[in-house]
Amino acid sequence: MDSKRANLLIACLVTATTVMILNETLLSVALPAIMADFHLSADIAQWLSTGFMLTMAVVIPVTGYIQQVLPTRTIFITSVVLFLVGTFVAALAPGFMVVLVGRILQAAGTAIIIPLLMTVVLTIVEPSSRGSVMGIITVAIAVAPTVGPTLSGLILSFATWHWLFWIMLVLGILVFFAGLRLLVNVGEVRRIPLDILSVVLSALGFGGLVYALSSISAVVEHGNKIPVFVGIAGVVLLAVFVLRQLRLVTTYGPLLDVRVLKERNFTLGMCAILGGFGVIIGVSMVLPLYLQGSVHVSEILTGLVVLPGGLLQGFMSPFIGRLYDRYGPRPLAIPGALVLCLGVWAFVFVVPSGKLSLIILSHILVALGMGLVMTPMMTAALGALPKRLYSHGSAVLNTLQQLAGAAGTALLIAMMTLGQNSALESGVSLPEAMSHGTQVAFAVAGVIAILVLVAVLFVRRPDDAPTPAE
């Protein structure tokens, strides 16, 4: 494939991915308005986010199989059509359940497009240029969620929440027609039987674990034991799923080839990505609660506080990718992990002051550090795999990213709640208690950031890593 055609294909997939991931966080600021319209409690309305994550966790593991048996254009069209139908349904929704159905369809489309983008890039881009392209992908995966709440706040300042979906629908239609014109099939299609039992085990296992992690606040605050039992069942089912995939290797092929985890570079790089992703998603959930509950800033200002960091990461990511192509992962990821640690621990000391300038600076450090970690680790991890495992590697990475995002959010929110309740018992005011709880949450995030630093120390450039036997 000539370079012009390859660039157009990647640009189309990156744009589609950006639109869909932007949509994932667009609704967070609109939840109060939806709750008011449909007379919902917060725990019911939260299913618009939880349902989205659950669907992603269920669908992504199947994408490794889908990419082997269907051509690229068919997968793209299916993904975008699911997203468009879901967006249209949600925009016209007369009630909450219809909005939820729309979000589930949107999530199914999003779950298909992200692994497809990574697999196509690994297939058609030369190893010497992958860092540059992965830097652009990082803009979609890491920056779009940061911009989402800000864009949502601006739209809601002059329109109803329905317009969030109408705007996404217009963008999705443009992406759809661009894809029909530009997309060509990449790679070879094979006829492989689908193991239904693996699909069921994957859906119940990953879905159960994401639900349990998303519901951890109910365990902490109300002593609800159901998420605990669901989480344990999810872990058991995933263990059975992994054993079955290893067994299917010797027969007609696994749904998700977990042998990718035997590649040292892939596993270490993935651990760094998952830790960093859990931190950045958890911080993005805790920070708005602190700003609005303790510092008493508006929704729009809350979005603007995190915007500089997101924009900086988006601006830097393509350059970080080019530097990776020249110098490899460690000269970028090690300083990046140090900056990530510095930014997260800075939050711990800045939070009591409530100074927005220091909070913005701390968030910029976190975003910059994550940018320096994510692109090199993603490129080094996936690039270490043999070509036949590209689709499975991207499916494993994206599936576990969903778990990391849910776990990071659940853990930091739980720590924030415990810290806040402890402070309230000592007799301080609610804003002070929330500030203390936020400090506890960021301290836990700081420990995770240190583990990210440890992981990146051992990741090597794929050219220097042992190549798995084909």
pLDDT, one tens digit per residue, over 43-72 is 677 788 778 888 888 898 888 888 888 898
Per-residue pLDDT averaged across 187-208, rounded? 86
Q: At what angle do helices 196-214 and 47-69 cross, to 10 degrees?
A: 150
Residues with Cβ < 8 Å from 364, sequence gap 6 or more?
A: 308, 309, 312, 343
**Residue 462 pLDDT level (bands cut at 50, 70, 90):** confident
For residue 163, with 0-12 CB atoms within 10 Å meaning exposed, 13-18 middle and 19 or more buried, which class applies? Answer: middle
Q: Are 174 and 18 in contact (CB under 8 A)?
A: no
Q: Which domain holds residue 231?
A: 195-254
Q: Are 165 and 87 in contact (CB under 8 A)?
A: yes
130 and 245 fall within a common domain: no
Rounded to 5 degrees, what are φ and ψ at 448?
-65, -40
Q: Give the domain-ending residue among 140, 157, 191.
A: 191
Q: Give the domain-ending residue among 254, 274, 300.
A: 254
285 and 219 fall within a common domain: no
Total domains in the fold of the chain: 3
Predicted confidence at residue 256, as pLDDT, reads 84
422 and 277 fall within a common domain: yes
234 and 267 fall within a common domain: no
Rounded to 5 degrees, what are φ and ψ at 455?
-65, -45
Q: Residue 42: pLDDT above 70?
A: no
16 and 66 fall within a common domain: yes
User: Helices (DSSP H) in 39-161: which residue ranges?
Assistant: 42-45, 47-69, 72-91, 96-124, 130-138, 144-156
3-state secondary structure of 462: helix
Predicted confidence at residue 465, as pLDDT, reads 41
Q: Which residue has the higher pLDDT, 429 or 219?
A: 429
246 and 209 fall within a common domain: yes
184 and 43 fall within a common domain: yes
Q: Please, how many CA atoms are within 13 Å of residue 248, restricted to the half-sphere of its CB? A: 23
Q: Mean pLDDT for the chain?
A: 86
% of the chain with per-residue pLDDT over 90: 31
82 and 172 fall within a common domain: yes
Cα-Cα end-to-end distance for the chain: 24
Q: Give the domain-ending residue among 145, 165, 191.
A: 191
Least confident of 37-46, 63-72, 367-376: 37-46
133 and 54 fall within a common domain: yes
Task: Report the C-alpha dihedral over residues 442, 355, 25, 98, rounded to 10 degrees.
Answer: 100
- CATH number of the domain enclosing 354: 1.20.1250.20
199 and 246 fall within a common domain: yes
Cα gap 406→225, rounded to integer Å: 18
291 and 145 fall within a common domain: no
| Residue 387 burial (CB count, 10 A) | 11
Predicted confidence at residue 340, as pLDDT, reads 96
Q: Are 245 and 256 in contact (CB under 8 A)?
A: yes
Q: Residue 416: pLDDT above 60?
A: yes
450 and 392 fall within a common domain: yes
Is the CA virtual torsion 54, 56, 60, 63 positive or negative?
positive
**pTM confidence score:** 0.82
